[in-house]
């Protein structure tokens, strides 16, 4: 395709595959639109060199999607007591702004740049879009409900003088299910931390964007989407569900074939998939309780285990494992559950597992990418939120959509083995689980309709494409 006839989009995701993958899926969708005349460059801020797996994945992108991995920034000066995971991501982007500007400056010399799409933590880059006179957008890779929280956070900060978890009243946002203060995003639960200040900063700047693209769809979040659209500032474009339904790593064929063989031998809808995402970790005690609870349930399962960590629920994002996580399982667990369970260390082909006919439930940490994959496959859930916006997502799934069960914690914050066993049996073998499965399959159909040629998400993305094409023609 001739460069003179191609509208180019610069995208700035935040570090981590959980954000990069939705940006890539958005790029692919833009390129697949009818009469699409676009190309995309991903400009990736980093705080460490890309891993071999990330490099491998990025090397497989279509020709019209290129990427630039910026030089890693140094975060050694940050105080871990006050700077959490989200603040580190924000600092990574902010400290990379000069390099982002240089990359964009190079792009505009050879391409017709029409739009600038930043991550939720990338509003610092708005100034670069204005410098080059292109429209600026935010791509919010999670739920419209979480975006509403971010959008209203500065207002909540003024009206709620205490920590949110101590606020006795329900927090009501336009079009949204009422939330307890403790169920707001984890990074805003301590007002003394830098994470909180960063969230106030970025949430306050969303209205400066020409639009916000959200990875959700009408049937999934009609209330939050309706209120955001009605407000009109910023303009909202729901374009989901965008999911990565193929394996992104090419060096895991052993685990893939092992999972497929196990699933092929099980009855339909009989297997519970258990995974806490790419970053989620459990404490040592909770790890043991989960193992025994799964065993007590008597249900079939595939469990992706990761070495326990007693300090952080998202420790796997920042630490490569040096010990064998299987060694932390209860004595004899693997032998006792061999006939009906498969334990995989560190990674499993999640999309293939969820889409297999033998899978009937998913115990999840409530990461939005994982939720959308479950919706795409019509799989009901057990929700076990750990960090980020996952508690907010859990409320949406259990109280609003009613497609998930949530096990109760004991007074010491641990979910006990008996509770786990009962919840697993309820989802996999109870009437409640059957109702959840029915509703989840209705959402699956809703997602399919949204992405159909005349669907709401396709029309929303086509509207954006039309705006960007007109910018190219007028430039």
Q: Is 208 inside a domain boundary? A: yes
> Are 61 and 97 contained in the same domain?
yes
> Are 389 and 433 contained in the same domain?
yes
For the entire predicted model, the pTM comes to: 0.94
Q: Is 245 inside a domain boundary? A: no
Q: Is 61 inside a domain boundary? A: yes
Of 79, 81, 105, which is closest to residue 91 (Cα–Cα)?
A: 79
Residues annotated as catalytic (active site), given as ranges: 19, 119
> Are 282 and 357 contained in the same domain?
yes
> Are 309 and 410 contained in the same domain?
yes
> Are 217 and 125 contained in the same domain?
yes
Distance CA(200)–CA(57), nearest Å, equals 33
Domain that holds residue 417: 253-447
Whether the bond into 234 is cis, omega within 30 of 0? yes
> Are 327 and 204 contained in the same domain?
no
Q: Which residues lie closer than 8 Å to 246 by C-beta, 6 or more apart? A: 351
> Are 158 and 305 contained in the same domain?
no
> Are 378 and 456 contained in the same domain?
no
> Are 195 and 210 contained in the same domain?
yes
How many other β-carbons are positioned within 10 Å of the β-carbon of residue 178?
12
pLDDT number for residue 296? 98
> Are 171 and 209 contained in the same domain?
yes
Q: Is 346 inside a domain boundary? A: yes
Residue ranges in the chain whose pLDDT is less than 50: 1, 248-251, 318, 320-322
Q: Is 247 inside a domain boundary? A: no
**How, if at all, do strands 236-238 and 211-214 pair?**
parallel
Burial of 250 per CB tally in 10 Å (0-12, 13-18, 19+) = exposed
pLDDT number for residue 246? 66
> Are 292 and 171 contained in the same domain?
no
Question: What is the domain-level CATH number for residue 112?
Answer: 3.40.50.2000
> Are 441 and 457 contained in the same domain?
no
Token pair for 64: 């019209």
Q: Is 236 inside a domain boundary? A: yes
Share above pLDDT 70 across residues of the chain, in percent, rounded to a whole number: 95
Number of domains in the chain: 2
């Amino acid at each position: 395709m001739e460069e003179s006839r191609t509208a180019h989009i610069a995208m700035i995701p935040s570090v981590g595959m959980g954000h990069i993958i939705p940006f890539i899926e958005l790029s692919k969708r833009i390129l697949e639109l009818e009469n699409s005349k676009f190309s995309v460059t991903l400009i990736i801020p980093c705080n460490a060199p890309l891993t071999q797996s990330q490099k491998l994945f990025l090397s497989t992108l279509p020709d019209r999607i290129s990427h630039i991995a910026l030089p890693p920034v140094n975060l050694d000066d940050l105080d871990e007591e006050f700077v959490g995971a989200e603040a580190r991501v924000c600092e990574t982007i902010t400290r990379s702004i000069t390099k982002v500007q240089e990359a964009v400056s190079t792009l505009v010399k050879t391409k017709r740049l029409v739009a600038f799409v930043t991550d939720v933590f990338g509003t610092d880059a708005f100034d670069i879009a204005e410098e080059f006179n292109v429209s600026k957008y935010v791509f919010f890779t999670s739920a419209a409900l979480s975006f509403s929280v971010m959008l209203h956070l500065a207002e909540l900060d003024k009206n709620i003088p205490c920590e949110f978890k101590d606020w006795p009243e329900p927090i009501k946002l336009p079009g949204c299910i009422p939330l307890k203060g403790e169920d707001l995003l984890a990074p805003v639960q301590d007002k003394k931390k830098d994470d909180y200040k960063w969230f106030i900063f970025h949430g306050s700047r969303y209205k400066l964007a020409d639009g916000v693209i959200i990875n959700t769809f009408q049937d999934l979040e009609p209330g939050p989407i309706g209120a955001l659209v009605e407000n009109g500032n910023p303009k909202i474009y729901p374009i989901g569900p965008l999911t990565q339904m193929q394996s992104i790593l090419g060096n895991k064929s052993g685990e893939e074939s092992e999972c497929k063989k196990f699933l092929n031998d099980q009855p339909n809808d009989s297997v519970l998939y258990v995974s806490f995402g790419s970053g989620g970790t459990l404490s040592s005690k909770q790890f043991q309780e989960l193992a025994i609870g799964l065993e007590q349930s008597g249900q079939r399962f595939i469990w992706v285990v990761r070495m326990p960590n007693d300090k952080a629920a998202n420790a796997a994002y920042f630490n490569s494992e040096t010990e064998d996580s299987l060694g932390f399982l209860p004595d004899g667990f693997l032998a006792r559950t061999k006939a009906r369970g498969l334990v995989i260390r560190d990674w499993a082909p999640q999309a293939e597992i969820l889409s297999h006919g033998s899978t009937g439930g998913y115990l999840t940490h409530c990461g939005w990418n994982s939720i959308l994959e479950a919706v795409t496959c019509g799989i009901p859930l057990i929700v076990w939120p750990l960090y980020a916006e996952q508690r907010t997502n859990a409320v949406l799934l259990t109280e609003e959509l009613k497609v998930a069960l949530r096990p109760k914690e004991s007074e010491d914050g641990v979910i006990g083995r008996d509770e786990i066993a009962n919840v697993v049996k309820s989802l996999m073998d109870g009437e409640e689980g059957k109702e959840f499965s029915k509703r989840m399959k209705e959402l699956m159909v809703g997602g399919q309709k949204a992405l159909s040629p005349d669907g709401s998400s396709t029309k929303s993305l086509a509207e954006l494409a039309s705006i960007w094409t007109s910018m190219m023609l007028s430039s």
